[in-house]
Structure 1
Amino acid sequence: MPAFGVHPGLGATTFTLAPWQALLAWPGIAQSALLSLSTGLIAPLIALTVVILFLAANQGTRLDRALHRLVSPLLAIPHAAVAFGLAFLIAPSGLLARIISPGVTGWERPPDWLIVNDPWGVALIAGLVLKEVPFLLLMSLAVLPQLSPERRIELARSLGYTPSLAWLKTVLPALYPLIRLPIYAVIAYSSSVVDMALILGPTRPPTLSVAVLSWFNDPDFSRRLMASAGALLQLGVTLSALILWWLGEQLVKPFGKRWLLNGQRTQGRRVWAAAGRVGLTLTTVTALLAMVGLGLFSLAGYWHFPDALPASFTLEHWQRAFSSLTLPLTNTLVIGVAATLIALVLVVACLENEVQRQLHPKHALWLLYLPLLVPQVAFLFGVVVAAESLGLRPQRSLVIAAHLLFVVPYLYLSLAEAYRRLDPHWMQVAHSLGASKWRAFWRVRVPLLLAPLLTACAVGLSVSISQYLPTLLLGAGRVPTVTTEAVALASGGNRRLIGVWALLQALLPFIGFALALLIPRLLRAKRNPRRGVS
């Protein structure tokens, strides 16, 4: 309604196309929309290619097992922290330039290159790839057991296919339909991301979602009408990206069928293997170096370019941050824990109902994915208008409710497979011994699923911590969190202080995952104490 001039709270009560006229007349609006569309297609395509090639080339290898252990921690790093870390790594005076200078480059001063915030969005695409690769890999690993990939590959190997081609021709066609929804969610996020675009994206003009946010926060309230029109335009851009991807799927199908049946068994095996190893290894190393860069900048004293390391280290930046840390950290933990616990109750109740009634919801997953498929700027403005109409003031509880829209889907995805694969005979044995459904649930199912439950909670907590736009809009700037404060520092240029806040934002999810790994081990050790044997 505000997009068409109707917003009683602002005194606008007449239907009009003036907001759309103002939007279409805004300088650079076409370039902003095109930038969002291209980002929403290129980043997911690169990320999906990296994941597919890695799975094809490294199934069962040591590299496969080593990188599997890093998937969840890398997924836990919030988007803003990854963006800051990458910016510190690839900037003209960043960590990478310092490592190779002056020996390789001959630089004694940082080059005058626009790498971060480049007008083509290359840095933004790179940051998105760093976040999307772990997510798509985790989604693929979750559904692969359903396909019995070992049997498929063994059959193809018996016909003379190399391991990589065997995986691509027998496993990939069955895997892709199972991860289509996560891919669509990644496309929707990439085309409408706000926090990473504020840090890495172009500024003149910015991506469409960033422009819409600036109009919404403009002191001139009449801009909110144009912001609503921009939010609907963002929805159209995201839908266009999804439709183009779907059309691409239809175009690839006939070529894919010919390739599957062409009988070539060894063509390009070295290329497949090399690309599969290099892609994910490079992504992982880059993400880890980005985190190292955050740590160095947060502790750096005087650091002259092109020195690879600071001349001195200091805790002064951490001490300065602690004076303003209490409220954002408290809000972050309260909102994150509350949203995660509420989501856990909802998801467990849903999965328990599925198991007891032997349901297999396939089409219902679209409803679960809806908050991930619709751009945040396209519906959160509507939530804000609805809250204002109901007289709900910006507060923690409203932010928690907004976080639930995103925590519930991720927590469900993290827990569903482990919940469904639990052997039902355990519960049957408990019932045969006289245990009620409620008692069997608490005494049998929960202890057996403790590790997946805690891991899902860690994922939910990391998702809540990384939420920028829902916190900013529903909290109206009055509920500061570590993420909103870190992104707010992006315009300041103080790398040391940014490093402190971004590293703290990344450390909180790591603590959650560490507890998820440690608690089951401690409980297991308590139940089975070691007894000395002489």
Structure 2
Amino acid sequence: MLLRLAPAATLAVLAGPVVLGLAFTLLPAFGFLPALGGATFSLDGWRMLFAAPGFASALALTFGTGLATTLLALILAAGLCAAAAHRPGMARLRRLIMPLLASPPSGVALGFAFLAMPSGWLVRLLSPWATGWQVPPAEPVTVGDPLGASLVAALLLKEVPYLALMLFAASATVPVERLTAAARALGRGPATAWATVVFPQLYRQVRLPIFAVLAFSMSVVDVAIIVGPGNPPPLAVLATRWFQGYDLALYHPAAAAATLQFLLVVLAILLWLALERPAAALNRRWLARGSRSRVPGTAAEVAGALAGLLIVLGLLSLLAMLIWSFAGSWRFPAALPDHWQLAVWQGEAGGAAVLAVTSAGIGLAAVAIALVLTLACLENEQRHGLHPGVAVLWLIYLPLIVPQIAFLFGVQVLLIHAGLDGTPAAVVWAHLVFVLPFVFLSLADAYRALDPRYAMTAAAMGAGRWRIFLVVKLPLLARPILVAAAVGFAVSIAQYLPTLFAGAGRVATLTTEAVTLSSGGDRRILGLVAVLQTALPLAAYGLALAIPFLAFRRFSSMA
């Protein structure tokens, strides 16, 4: 009976906050918020939004950076896969991008800001021997530029590895070698074959992750605060500022901005869908002509090289924050600190430990609930022979596609009415909305692919269903379960807006502290916080790989 309730409970966790949150954001957007005296509907909030200084620029910035990030991330990720597909070392490549995948976006953005700013590490490595600079240059503006180029670059450091991993995973379901061999028999190079024949077969399977990247890039707040333009900022940052301000009159335009953010994401997804058909038609026409042009292959190789450069920059970003956390004095243009010290780690250990424990506790609680719901849903599928369709997949992705700012304000209103805002339980629940989809998607394929003969053998020996689940299935799936838990934990550590809204500013985590410090805190303390931000998820991934090895190594000779 409990298993039959699991799918409904899971969908309620995923869709409930989004739908209710959107509703309670939409009503204030049109003036209805009785708690602030708004008992009638009006368009005053929209008028204030449209009249806000820099509104048009914020709108263009939001739309432009989101589409540019998504398109570039897809091209670079596809190029990386095309370039790596015919070369050995795919496993090494996946291990290389793991630190970037585990690191919170804000942590990567902090490291990137130090790399790219005029006084940053890249300039220091070239100065003064190549640039002649003894002081940091005033131009060009490389972080916080008004066009949002630095925001796009920082987002690409996270999104290219993510989409590359999605393409790697999708390639396991497609006969890549056979398709590549057929294309090469027609005279096409390996990279050209992958880009023009294999990639179209994979695209449909990664469409929802692409939409998640598009929604995230258009509505991200923490990364935009750290490296994005400040005046005007992107629309999501503008709405967040108004929501978190002390002027209650700004709540209505803030809700209008959040609603508009949702509409912009919907419009961007529709535009993307509209462009899919002509793009596919062009590729089919090129294939039908039998062209042996090397242009697609060359473009894929170039994109792959650029993606590799981005991965290196991402890893350097993480290394930069580690160095800052141990730096003493570090004058420009020195490439490394003048001396090293442990003073920051010793002086800030207590406060950092509290933040780390809070972040880890919230993450572990959210992951535990997500695992219970996911395992119950998947076991219910097997016991009753269910085959969820595309609609269920869309529901799983719903919290990842709908902009966070569009429904989290409404969720905060609900939490205030329930008397739960500002509590750790509310933050855990808010994190669960985003952790659950990643845990489910990470574990579902492995659970469904488990050979049913194990369960049949156990049943033939007299084991009941629950004994089979606990004694047979869970040990066999220990590694996928732990990896899914590590993925969910990393997602929880990265959450900024859910912590900000559900915690009402009273629950501090490593991520909220990092964003706060980014506006002018000591770089050494900032480096320490960013290092811990990355260290916690990496430790989770390490445990996910080590625990099954240590627990089952006595059976290794049976393989």
TM-score range, shorter chain: over 0.9
Answer whether contact 1:142 1:417 (CA < 8 A) is retained. Answer: no
Pairwise CA RMSD: 1.7
Q: Label 1:269 to 1:228 Cα distance change in 2 as closer, same or farther (>3 A).
A: closer
- Identity among equivalent positions (%) equals 45
TM-score (norm 2): 0.92
Answer whether contact 2:421 2:504 (CA < 8 A) is retained. Answer: no
Could you tell me which of 234, 237, 243 is aligned with 2:261?
234
Q: Which amino acid aligns with 1:350?
A: C
Question: What does the per-residue CA deviation read over 1:392-441, in whole Å, with 9 as the maximum and x for residues that have no partner?
Answer: 33201111111111001111121122222222222222222222121111
Could you tell me which of 461, 468, 477 is aligned with 2:496?
468
Instruction: Considering Cα pairs closer than 8 Å and 6+ residues apart, tell me whether 1 or 2 has the greater RCO.
Output: 2
Q: SS of the counterpart of 2:172?
A: helix
2:274 alignment counterpart: 247
1:82 aligns with 2:108: yes
**CA distance, structure 2, for counterparts of residue 230 and residue 360 of structure 1:** 35
Q: SS of the counterpart of 1:146?
A: coil
**CA distance, structure 2, for counterparts of residue 128 and residue 94 of structure 1:** 18
Question: What does the per-residue CA deviation read over 1:443-469, in whole Å, with 9 as the maximum and x for residues that have no partner?
Answer: 221111111111110000000000000
Query: Once the 2 structures are TM-superposed, how far is the Cα of residue 370 of structure 1 from its aligned partner?
Result: 0.7
Could you tell me which of 100, 106, 118 is aligned with 2:145?
118
Query: Once the 2 structures are TM-superposed, how far is the Cα of residue 254 of structure 1 from its aligned partner?
Result: 2.1
Query: Once the 2 structures are TM-superposed, how far is the Cα of residue 167 of structure 1 from its aligned partner?
Result: 1.6
**CA distance, structure 1, for counterparts of residue 260 and residue 284 of structure 2:** 36
Q: Label 1:29 to 1:129 Cα distance change in 2 as closer, same or farther (>3 A).
A: same
Q: SS of the counterpart of 1:160?
A: coil
1:95 aligns with 2:121: yes
Q: SS of the counterpart of 2:246?
A: coil
Question: What does the per-residue CA deviation read over 1:25-60, in whole Å, with 9 as the maximum and x for residues that have no partner?
Answer: 111111101101111100011111011112122215
Question: What does the per-residue CA deviation read over 1:57-114, in whole Å, with 9 as the maximum and x for residues that have no partner?
Answer: 2215234332122233321100110000100111111111111111111111111132
Answer whether contact 1:161 1:265 (CA < 8 A) is retained. Answer: yes
Question: What does the per-residue CA deviation read over 1:241-293, in whole Å, with 9 as the maximum and x for residues that have no partner?
Answer: 21221222133132122122221235237624631541231121111100111
Query: Once the 2 structures are TM-superposed, how far is the Cα of residue 470 of structure 1 from its aligned partner?
Result: 0.3
Answer whether contact 1:43 1:128 (CA < 8 A) is retained. Answer: yes
Q: Which amino acid aligns with 2:546?
A: L
**CA distance, structure 2, for counterparts of residue 233 and residue 320 of structure 1:** 44
Query: Once the 2 structures are TM-superposed, how far is the Cα of residue 186 of structure 1 from its aligned partner?
Result: 0.5
1:481 alignment counterpart: 509
1:204 aligns with 2:234: no
2:436 alignment counterpart: 408
Q: Which amino acid aligns with 1:146?
A: T
1:384 aligns with 2:381: no
**CA distance, structure 2, for counterparts of residue 73 and residue 493 of structure 1:** 25
Q: Which amino acid aligns with 1:100?
A: L
Q: SS of the counterpart of 1:406?
A: helix
Q: Which amino acid aligns with 2:76?
A: V
Q: SS of the counterpart of 2:513?
A: helix
Query: Once the 2 structures are TM-superposed, how far is the Cα of residue 326 of structure 1 from its aligned partner?
Result: 3.7
Question: What does the per-residue CA deviation read over 1:275-327, in whole Å, with 9 as the maximum and x for residues that have no partner?
Answer: 15412311211111001110111111111111111110011122232232243
State which drifts further: 204-213 or 380-389.
380-389
1:256 alignment counterpart: 283
Question: What does the per-residue CA deviation read over 1:9-39, in whole Å, with 9 as the maximum and x for residues that have no partner?
Answer: 1122122111111111111111101101111
Q: Label 1:119 to 1:229 Cα distance change in 2 as closer, same or farther (>3 A).
A: same
**CA distance, structure 2, for counterparts of residue 283 and residue 437 of structure 1:** 48
Q: SS of the counterpart of 1:6?
A: coil
Q: Unaligned 5+ residue runs, structure 2? A: 1-26
Could you tell me which of 501, 510, 514 is aligned with 2:529?
501
**CA distance, structure 2, for counterparts of residue 265 and residue 69 of structure 1:** 34
Query: Once the 2 structures are TM-superposed, how far is the Cα of residue 527 of structure 1 from its aligned partner?
Result: 4.7
Superposition pairs for residues 168-187 of structure 1, below 5 Å? 168-187=195-214
Could you tell me which of 320, 327, 335 is aligned with 2:362?
335
Could you tell me which of 27, 42, 45 is aligned with 1:16?
42
Superposition pairs for residues 20-419 of structure 1, below 5 Å? 20-113=46-139, 114-265=141-292, 267-268=294-295, 271-272=298-299, 274-356=301-383, 357-419=385-447
Q: Which amino acid aligns with 1:164?
A: A
Q: SS of the counterpart of 1:323?
A: helix
State which drifts further: 350-359 or 81-90.
350-359
**CA distance, structure 2, for counterparts of residue 273 and residue 32 of structure 1:** 33
Q: Which amino acid aligns with 2:108?
A: V
Q: Unaligned 5+ residue runs, structure 1? A: none
**CA distance, structure 1, for counterparts of residue 332 and residue 99 of structure 2:** 31
**CA distance, structure 2, for counterparts of residue 58 and residue 220 of structure 1:** 53
Query: Once the 2 structures are TM-superposed, how far is the Cα of residue 353 of structure 1 from its aligned partner?
Result: 2.2
Answer whether contact 1:74 1:134 (CA < 8 A) is retained. Answer: yes
Query: Once the 2 structures are TM-superposed, how far is the Cα of residue 475 of structure 1 from its aligned partner?
Result: 0.3
**CA distance, structure 1, for counterparts of residue 514 and residue 239 of structure 2:** 20
State which drifts further: 468-477 or 410-419.
410-419
Answer whether contact 1:144 1:175 (CA < 8 A) is retained. Answer: yes
**CA distance, structure 1, for counterparts of residue 146 and residue 58 of structure 2:** 10
2:541 alignment counterpart: 513
Q: Which amino acid aligns with 1:496?
A: R
